[in-house]
């Protein structure tokens, strides 16, 4: 059995609260009373003493009703973490004082999108109620129900406590490889550029000129050619990556909707590029437009994650997407778009960005297909026709984007993002 | 697994008490058959309620849908929900106890048989409490002396009932019942609880 110290290192206990409780007759007591009264009733009616004997055990067990019971108990309720990730194991911890552990039964009634488990009682007196959030967002965990009974099981009391909400971050999509631009800005980083520089990637040899560092002389080449030859290395540069997350439309099965996929893909992509020391920014295209300007580092990761978790009700008008300031969309940046491509305003903005020379890659996160009722006769034909027209429109949108040099790849939300992006991670993407 | 075992125990004890009280069907007075049918219904509904309570908890744990889903139920689902709520509201075990005792009372006098029925019904109530609360059987250990005293009193009542009546008048039956009740009260007051 796990103890609090083993399972939740570094936790500080929440405030202890004194909760008044009221005791009520339990179902067991009611049934015993029924057996006793019915036995006595039949004994009197039939004048048979054995029925009174039948009532004896039940009547004697009801004597325990006189026992003392506490009028209040102490309760400490905490969650193992305030911030979690989808699918991560969490726990609600509850410690009750003023009542024996075997007299209390604790159960978690999970809220939607929370999966609960059976309660475990640790050696340290803490009840551990495991739970797993299944979908990102600020999620209420649910309620904890404590059912207490006296040691005779004749009275019981129920107590319900709300568990504080947890902030559940999206499960970042897996992305190992990177899409790198053909022309990298002159900023120190980790991507190998085509220009010579101070990196560690060998590019070739050239003649020595006065002023060059002697430690870079390539002696085998010097011996072969008869003149001093110098090793040349490529420069290592960082790029600016702007992720455009389209959550303006949310279609599909909850948990695997277009917004869910866009959010997970944006989180995974941002974390991957930040790990490669690139400057990463995020544009959230929701009911309003919001952005985080590109930057590097751990704090930027927090800023991006905070924007992803923000409710999309405040920000700038959506028309601004094609006229964003340079701080939000630096020249020469790589733009990776996660969108179901259902908003024509966004499609137009992508065209405008491409015309301005940005390298844009669109990852299509639309899984849902229109479904209509299987009607009869004419209506069925019309519905099928409407579906076909819709599909053709969608194909036309994607075709028009490819025609102007914006690759559109589809992602199903299950496979790593490397799979759809593979054609663009093997060689640099041309920009400018 | 524990839930299944306790549900099985409750089922066996309910069926056992029913069969014990009902047999032999031919020897009972008029009215035994309707009571037997009612008792069987009570046992079945009681077990269904117990099983449904367990599955309700599991369903709530596995719930993934939005809370609004429960607001837009179809008519069959809504009817099923109302029926299951009604099923939960009726105290089926209490009705089963009354029906079983009624069945026993409709049979000719058989004191030892009634005492055994009392023990089986007590076992049914304890098993039901274990199944409902999920408590370990060990928590009932503290009640063992009381149960033993109760069973001893039941044995005494069987012995008293088996004695031939000193007088043939109706007062002897009353006196036996009163003596039984007095013995229960005396033991109850004497036990240190």
User: Can you tell me the ipTM of this complex?
Assistant: 0.83
User: Residue A28 is nearest to which of B65, B102, B129, comparing CB atoms?
Assistant: B129
Tell me if A112 and B156 make a contact (CB, 8 A cut-off): no
| pLDDT tens digits along A58-100 | 888 887 776 678 888 888 888 888 889 998 999 999 988 888 8
Task: Please give the share of chain A, as a percent, with pLDDT higher than 90.
Answer: 31
pLDDT at A5 over 50: no
How close, in Å, is residue A27 to chain B by CA atoms?
Answer: 8
Mutate to test the interface with A, among B54, B94, B128, B164 (most CBs of A within 10 A): B94
Cβ atoms of residues B183 and A55 within 8 Å:
no
pLDDT at A10: 35
Mutate to test the interface with A, among B14, B99, B129, B163 (most CBs of A within 10 A): B129
pLDDT at A55 over 80: yes
pLDDT, chain A, mean: 85
Q: What value does the mean pLDDT take over residues A207-220?
A: 89
Sheet holding A155-163, edge to edge: A24-25, A155-163, A142-149, A104-110
HSE toward the beta carbon, residue B156, CA cutoff 13 A = 20
Alpha-carbon distance of B178 to B163, in angstroms, equals 16
pLDDT at B160: 75
pLDDT at A320 over 80: no
Chain B contact for A121 (CB, 8 A cutoff): no
Q: Tokens 């908890």 correspond to what residue?
A: B57
pLDDT at A288: 84
Position A324 confidence tier, pLDDT thresholds 50, 70, 90 = confident
How close, in Å, is residue B161 to chain A by CA atoms?
Answer: 6
Alpha-carbon distance of A16 to A12, in angstroms, equals 12
Cβ atoms of residues A360 and A337 within 8 Å:
yes
Tell me if B139 and A38 make a contact (CB, 8 A cut-off): no
Q: Tokens 């000719």 correspond to what residue?
A: B108
Position A186 confidence tier, pLDDT thresholds 50, 70, 90 = confident
Tell me if B146 and A57 make a contact (CB, 8 A cut-off): yes
Partner B, chain A 22-51, Cβ-Cβ below 8 Å? 27-28, 30-32, 34-35, 38-40, 42-51
Q: Which residue of B has its CA nearest to A53?
A: B154
User: Residue A49 is nearest to which of B62, B66, B176, comparing CB atoms?
Assistant: B176
Cβ atoms of residues A370 and A393 within 8 Å:
no
Q: What value does the mean pLDDT take over residues B60-81?
A: 62
Tell me if A48 and B93 make a contact (CB, 8 A cut-off): no
Quote the tokens at residue A173.
Answer: 């999509």
Cβ atoms of residues A280 and A304 within 8 Å:
yes
Partner B, chain A 293-352, Cβ-Cβ below 8 Å? none
Q: What value does the mean pLDDT take over residues A317-332?
A: 81
Residue with the larger pLDDT of the pair A356 and A151: A356
pLDDT at B16: 92
Alpha-carbon distance of B71 to B90, in angstroms, equals 25
Cβ atoms of residues A269 and A419 within 8 Å:
no
User: Residue A49 is nearest to which of B117, B122, B161, comparing CB atoms?
Assistant: B161
Distance spanning both ends of chain B, measured CA to CA: 34
pLDDT, chain B, mean: 78
Partner B, chain A 51-70, Cβ-Cβ below 8 Å? 51-61, 63-64, 66-67
Alpha-carbon distance of A238 to A277, in angstroms, equals 7
For A213, other C-beta atoms within 10 Å of its C-beta total 9
Tell me if B109 and A48 make a contact (CB, 8 A cut-off): yes
What are the φ/ψ torsions at residue A27 (nearest 5 degrees)? Answer: -60, -35
pLDDT at A244: 94
Chain B contact for A115 (CB, 8 A cutoff): yes
Mutate to test the interface with A, among B13, B17, B106, B114 (most CBs of A within 10 A): B114
Task: Please give the share of chain B, as a percent, with pLDDT higher than 90.
Answer: 17
Residue with the larger pLDDT of the pair B75 and A282: A282
**Cβ neighbours of B132 in A, within 8 Å:** 27-28
Tell me if B188 and A59 make a contact (CB, 8 A cut-off): yes
Q: Cα–Cα distances in Å, from A355 out to A294, A401, A405?
A: 21, 11, 10
How close, in Å, is residue A374 to chain B by CA atoms?
Answer: 19
pLDDT at A263 over 90: yes
Q: Which residue of A has its CA nearest to B182?
A: A52
How close, in Å, is residue A327 to chain B by CA atoms?
Answer: 39
**Cβ neighbours of A149 in B, within 8 Å:** 133, 135
Sheet holding A408-410, edge to edge: A289-295, A279-285, A240-246, A334-339, A359-364, A408-410
Alpha-carbon distance of A426 to B17, in angstroms, equals 77
- Identify the helix (H) or strand (E) that includes residue A241: strand A240-246
Chain B contact for A102 (CB, 8 A cutoff): yes
How close, in Å, is residue B15 to chain A by CA atoms?
Answer: 17
Residue with the larger pLDDT of the pair B71 and B100: B100
**Cβ neighbours of A113 in B, within 8 Å:** 64
Q: What value does the mean pLDDT take over residues A397-411?
A: 93
pLDDT at A430: 66
Q: What value does the mean pLDDT take over residues A350-361?
A: 91
| pLDDT tens digits along B125-181 | 989 988 888 777 777 777 888 888 888 888 887 877 776 655 555 566 666 666 666
Q: Cα–Cα distances in Å, from B49 out to A105, B70, B91?
A: 20, 21, 10
Q: What value does the mean pLDDT take over residues A378-400?
A: 88
Position B60 confidence tier, pLDDT thresholds 50, 70, 90 = very low
Q: What value does the mean pLDDT take over residues A238-257?
A: 89
Q: What value does the mean pLDDT take over residues B19-24?
A: 85
Q: What value does the mean pLDDT take over residues A287-304?
A: 91
Q: Where are the beta strands (DSSP E) in A211-271?
A: 229-237, 240-246
CB pairs A-B closer than 8 Å: 187
Q: What value does the mean pLDDT take over residues A239-256?
A: 89
pLDDT at A312 over 60: no
Q: What value does the mean pLDDT take over residues A141-154?
A: 86
Q: What value does the mean pLDDT take over residues A248-274?
A: 91
pLDDT at B174: 66
Q: What value does the mean pLDDT take over residues B20-46?
A: 85
Task: Choose the weakest-confidence range: A5-14, A217-226, A332-341.
Answer: A5-14
| pLDDT tens digits along A157-182 | 888 888 888 889 999 999 999 888 88
């Amino acid at each position: 059995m796990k103890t609090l110290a083993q399972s939740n290192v570094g936790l500080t206990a929440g405030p202890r609260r004194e909760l008044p409780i009221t005791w009520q007759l339990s179902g067991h007591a009611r049934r015993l009373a029924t057996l006793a009264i019915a036995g006595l009733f039949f004994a009197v009616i039939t004048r048979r003493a054995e029925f009174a004997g039948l009532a004896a055990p039940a009547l004697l067990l009801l004597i325990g009703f006189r026992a003392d019971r506490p009028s209040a108990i102490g309760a400490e309720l905490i969650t193992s973490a305030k911030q979690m990730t989808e699918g991560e194991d969490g726990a609600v911890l509850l410690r009750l004082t003023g009542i024996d552990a075997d007299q209390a039964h604790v159960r978690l009634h999970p809220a939607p999108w929370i999966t609960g488990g059976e309660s475990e009682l640790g050696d340290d007196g803490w009840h551990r109620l495991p739970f797993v959030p299944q979908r990102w967002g600020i999620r209420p965990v649910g309620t904890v129900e404590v059912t207490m009974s006296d040691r005779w099981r004749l009275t019981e009391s129920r107590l319900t406590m709300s568990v504080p909400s947890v902030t559940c971050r999206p499960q970042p999509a897996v992305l190992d490889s990177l899409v790198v631009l053909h022309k990298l800005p002159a900023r120190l980083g980790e991507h190998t550029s085509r220009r010579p520089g101070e990196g560690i990637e060998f590019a070739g040899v050239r003649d020595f000129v006065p002023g060059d560092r002697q430690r870079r002389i390539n002696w085998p080449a010097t011996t072969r050619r008869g003149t001093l030859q110098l090793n040349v290395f490529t420069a290592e540069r960082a790029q600016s990556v702007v992720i455009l997350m389209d959550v303006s439309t949310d279609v599909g099965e909850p948990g695997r909707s277009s917004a869910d996929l866009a959010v997970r893909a944006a989180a995974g992509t941002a974390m991957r590029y930040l790990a490669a020391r690139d400057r990463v920014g995020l544009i959230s295209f929701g009911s309003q437009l919001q952005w985080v300007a590109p930057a590097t580092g751990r704090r930027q990761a927090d800023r991006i994650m905070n924007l992803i978790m923000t409710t999309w009700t405040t920000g700038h008008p959506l028309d601004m997407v094609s006229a964003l300031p340079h701080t939000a969309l630096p020249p020469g940046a790589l733009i990776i778009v996660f969108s179901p491509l259902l908003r024509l305003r966004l499609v137009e903005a992508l065209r405008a960005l491409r015309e301005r020379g940005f390298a844009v890659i669109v990852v299509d996160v639309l899984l849902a297909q229109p479904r209509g009722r299987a009607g009869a006769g004419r209506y069925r034909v019309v519905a099928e026709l409407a579906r076909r027209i819709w599909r053709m429109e969608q194909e036309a949108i994607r075709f028009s984007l490819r025609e102007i040099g914006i690759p559109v790849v589809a992602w199903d939300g299950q496979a790593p993002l490397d799979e759809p992006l593979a054609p663009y991670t093997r060689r640099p993407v041309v920009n400018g | 697994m524990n839930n299944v075992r306790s549900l099985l125990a409750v089922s066996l004890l309910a069926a056992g008490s029913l069969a014990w009280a009902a047999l032999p069907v031919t020897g009972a007075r008029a009215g035994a058959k309707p009571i037997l049918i009612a008792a069987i219904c009570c046992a079945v509904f009681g077990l269904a309620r117990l099983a449904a309570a367990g599955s309700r908890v599991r369903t709530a744990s596995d719930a993934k849908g939005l809370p609004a889903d429960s607001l837009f139920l179809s008519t069959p689902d809504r009817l099923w929900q109302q029926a299951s709520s009604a099923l939960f509201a009726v105290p089926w075990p209490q009705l089963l106890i009354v029906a079983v005792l009624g069945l026993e009372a409709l049979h000719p006098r058989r004191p030892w048989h009634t005492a055994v029925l009392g023990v089986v019904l007590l076992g049914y109530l304890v098993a039901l409490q274990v199944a409902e609360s999920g408590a370990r059987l060990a928590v009932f250990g503290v009640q063992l002396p009381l149960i033993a005293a109760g069973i001893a009193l039941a044995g005494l009542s069987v012995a008293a009932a088996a004695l031939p009546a000193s007088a043939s008048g109706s007062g002897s039956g009353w006196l036996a019942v009163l003596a039984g009740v007095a013995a229960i009260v005396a033991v109850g007051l004497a036990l240190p609880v």
